[in-house]
């Protein structure tokens, strides 16, 4: 019979004394309310040894100036619960490449330093995307030829991936490169919105193949991913990705993985074909991953929070994504897009929706956290070996 997960989340003196040796820098500090970093309570230590459990984090806000001797509550939970970190914004174009001849790795390096101090891996995010590009890219791309775009993209990929060589275990090389089936024209490559694909619209697949080659040459050990939202189950978009993956592999591109972001909402139904989708990409020899999981809940004006039924469904959907990952050997990582509602991107982007993460604004774990912890516990006997 499964243990009472909720009872394990009470931070007692005994639990505090057992804080993870993985996070020795945090061992002297008290656990935040609701979380204990004791081995038995930690997502990272309950996970199978070959599955990274991650969280996104905006290093510029939360990790720059990290003091291992006096971590914040946020940093303590981040270190104790997760074995992998994804930079929410710190490795995107506007952050690391703000001007044509200027690279700024300040906040991204802070994330790497925090990860090293706490024995965590890092997923790189992202090298080619239509959003969060700096103003100089937006301006210059209006007159780019394909050769111009290729030169800029190659310099960026080689510089960024090279800077972090040996520090990144998975890179989201191409992010959200297909539009959705309900967009104008249906599922197709974003040759209008993505400045690089637009400039090379005559051969976008060739550009993508080279992007993967440049990244691989800069860091041969990193696994290189395609990544997108609405890409969890089998649908028109993932059919397009499946065909693209076959094209890239046939062209000899070093594509290594396919990532489904996992941004879900209770406003919509749940696709039960996630595992089947992962299995078909795995059959191509690729790794698969849930890369940005959150489950937002519609909240009516005046409501103080979600209903118990909504909370239960949210937990079920988080767990279903994890189960699909656990059931496919090729699934290498499961990442939540932030663990606390205090810093969730959802309310600012989806008005009327929120409560999307696995803990509330006070870092109190939700049933979704309980569900993930229980499934990780059940997936491997006892506590997994520490990384």
Q: Output phi, psi for 201, to 5 deg.
A: -60, -20
CB-CB contact of 256 with 205 (8 Å): no
CB-CB contact of 165 with 218 (8 Å): yes
Q: What is the pLDDT of residue 37?
A: 58
Q: Would you please indicate which residues are annotated as catalytic (active-site) residues?
A: 176, 292
pLDDT at 6 over 50: no
Q: What is the pLDDT of residue 184?
A: 86
Question: Hey, is 202 helix, strand or coil?
Answer: coil
Cβ-proximal residues to 324 (8 Å cutoff; 6+ apart), any chain = 274, 275, 278, 290, 331
Domain boundaries, the chain: 5-379
User: Beta partners for 85?
Assistant: 55, 122
pLDDT at 10 over 90: no
Q: What is the pLDDT of residue 381?
A: 57
Q: What is the pLDDT of residue 34?
A: 66
Confidence category of residue 15, pLDDT binned at 50, 70, 90? very low
**What are 358-369's pLDDT values in tens digits?**
999 999 999 999
Radius of gyration of the chain (CA): 20
Q: What is the pLDDT of residue 205?
A: 98
pTM of the shown model: 0.90
Section 80-102 average pLDDT:
98
Confidence category of residue 30, pLDDT binned at 50, 70, 90? very low
Rounded percentage of the chain residues whose pLDDT exceeds 70:
88
Look up residue 268 and give its two tokens: 């919509």
Among 329, 333, 321, which Cα is nearest to 54's?
333
How far apart, in whole angstroms, are the C-alpha atoms of residue 273 and residue 289?
A: 15
DSSP 35-53: ---BGGG-HHHHS-TT-EE
CB atoms near residue 165 (< 10 Å): 12
Q: What is the pLDDT of residue 304?
A: 73
Confidence category of residue 301, pLDDT binned at 50, 70, 90? confident
Instruction: Report CA-CA distances (Å) from 331 to 105, 243, 256.
Output: 29, 20, 12
**What are 104-161's pLDDT values in tens digits?**
999 999 999 999 999 999 999 999 999 999 999 999 999 999 999 999 999 999 999 9
How far apart, in whole angstroms, are the C-alpha atoms of residue 275 and residue 325?
A: 7
Superfamily of domain 5-379: Glycosidases (3.20.20.80)
How far apart, in whole angstroms, are the C-alpha atoms of residue 19 and residue 40?
A: 10
Confidence category of residue 302, pLDDT binned at 50, 70, 90? confident
Instruction: Report CA-CA distances (Å) from 241 to 46, 227, 286, 332.
Output: 32, 9, 12, 19
**What are 222-243's pLDDT values in tens digits?**
999 999 999 999 999 999 999 9
**What are 268-295's pLDDT values in tens digits?**
999 999 999 999 999 999 999 999 999 9
Look up residue 209 and give its two tokens: 């193949």
pLDDT at 12 over 80: no
How far apart, in whole angstroms, are the C-alpha atoms of residue 179 and residue 67?
A: 42
Look up residue 50 and give its two tokens: 């070959």
Pairing of strands 223-228, 170-175: parallel
Helix 274-282 crosses helix 308-326 at what angle (to 10 degrees)? 20
Q: CA angle 220-221-227, nearest 5°?
A: 95
How far apart, in whole angstroms, are the C-alpha atoms of residue 179 and residue 236?
A: 10
How far apart, in whole angstroms, are the C-alpha atoms of residue 327 and residue 232?
A: 14
Average pLDDT, the chain: 90
Q: Which helix (H) or strand (E) holds 308?
A: helix 308-326
pLDDT at 56 over 50: yes
């Amino acid at each position: 019979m499964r243990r009472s997960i909720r009872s394990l989340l009470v931070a007692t003196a005994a639990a505090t004394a057992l804080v993870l040796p993985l996070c020795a820098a945090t061992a002297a500090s008290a656990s935040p309310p609701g979380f204990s970093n004791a081995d038995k309570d930690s997502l990272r230590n309950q996970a199978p040894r070959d599955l990274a459990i991650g969280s996104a984090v905006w290093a510029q806000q939360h990790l720059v100036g990290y003091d291992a001797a006096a971590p914040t509550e946020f940093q303590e939970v981040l270190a104790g619960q997760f074995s992998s970190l994804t930079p929410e914004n710190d490795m995107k174009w506007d952050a690391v490449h703000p001007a044509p001849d200027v690279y700024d790795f300040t906040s991204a390096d802070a994330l790497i330093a925090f990860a090293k101090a706490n024995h965590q891996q890092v997923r790189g995010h992202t090298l080619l995307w239509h959003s969060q590009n700096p103003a100089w890219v937006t301006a210059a791309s209006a007159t780019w030829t394909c050769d111009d775009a290729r030169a800029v993209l190659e310099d960026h990929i080689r510089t960024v991936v090279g800077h972090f060589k040996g520090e990144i275990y998975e890179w989201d090389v191409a992010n959200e490169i297909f539009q959705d089936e309900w967009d104008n024209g249906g599922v197709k490559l974003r040759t209008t919105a993505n400045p690089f694909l637009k400039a090379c619209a005559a051969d976008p697949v060739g550009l993508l193949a080279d992007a993967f080659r440049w990244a691989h040459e800069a860091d041969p050990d990193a696994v290189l991913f395609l990544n997108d939202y609405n890409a969890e189950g089998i649908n028109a978009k993932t059919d397009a990705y499946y065909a693209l993956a076959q094209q890239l592999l046939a062209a000899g591109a070093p594509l290594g993985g396919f990532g489904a972001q996992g941004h879900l909402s209770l406003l919509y139904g749940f696709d039960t074909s996630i595992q089947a989708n992962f299995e078909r990409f795995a059959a191509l020899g690729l790794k698969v991953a849930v890369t940005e999981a959150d489950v937002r809940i519609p909240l009516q004006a005046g409501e103080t929070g979600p209903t118990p039924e909504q909370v239960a469904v949210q937990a079920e959907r988080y767990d279903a994504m994890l189960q699909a990952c656990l059931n496919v050997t090729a699934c290498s990582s499961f990442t939540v897009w932030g663990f606390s509602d205090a810093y969730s991107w959802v309310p600012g982007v989806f008005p009327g929706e929120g409560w999307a993460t696995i803990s509330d604004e006070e870092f109190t774990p939700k049933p979704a956290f309980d569900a993930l912890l229980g499934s990780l516990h059940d997936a491997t006997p006892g506590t997994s070996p520490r990384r």
